[in-house]
Amino acid sequence: MNYMGTFIAVADDCKVDYGKTPVPRGSSRSVAQIQYEMLAEHPFTYTQEDVLFESWFARQDLEVSEAEKADLREQFFSKEQPCLRTSPLTRTHGWGLVFDEEGRIALCAKDSPEYGKYLESEELKVIKALRSKRA
């Protein structure tokens, strides 16, 4: 399920022209905040599966052992999960996602010089994030 050597570009209908840091909405952290914190603080550390599971798990407010968490992860991926092309980071916050050859992810702001380089890259497969609304 992990992308390798891929760049997920910002969705065509994203309303921001820059990498916007997600802000809190209400009392709990949003998926966008959790994913942003993971990837901004630890670039090229997590895979897509890590980000999807950890962002789900963080919102569950569970206190479990590592073994129980491993079981939850297995259950989580026993059902099909949407990929990071549906992440709010790529759809509404202006962040592209760069996947290295091992599937580890880093953020890339839409307004950064690197973003244009990744779009033109011949080494990476370039795909767009999914639109937020139907055309």
* 103, pLDDT greater than 70: yes
Task: For residue 123, give both structure tokens.
Answer: 């080494």
Q: How far apart are CA 56 and CA 108, in angstroms?
A: 22
Residues in the chain: 135
Give the three-class secondary structure for 67. Answer: helix
pLDDT digits (tens, 9 = 90+) for 22-60: 998 888 889 999 999 999 999 999 999 999 999 999 999
Instruction: Give me the residue label for tokens 């992990």.
Output: 2
Q: Does the predicted TM-score (pTM) go above 0.95?
A: no
Q: Which residues contact 86 (CB under 8 A, 6 or more apart)?
A: 129, 130
What ranges do the domains of the chain cover? 6-128
Residue 132: predicted pLDDT = 81
Find out whether 115 and 18 touch, Cβ atoms under 8 Å: no
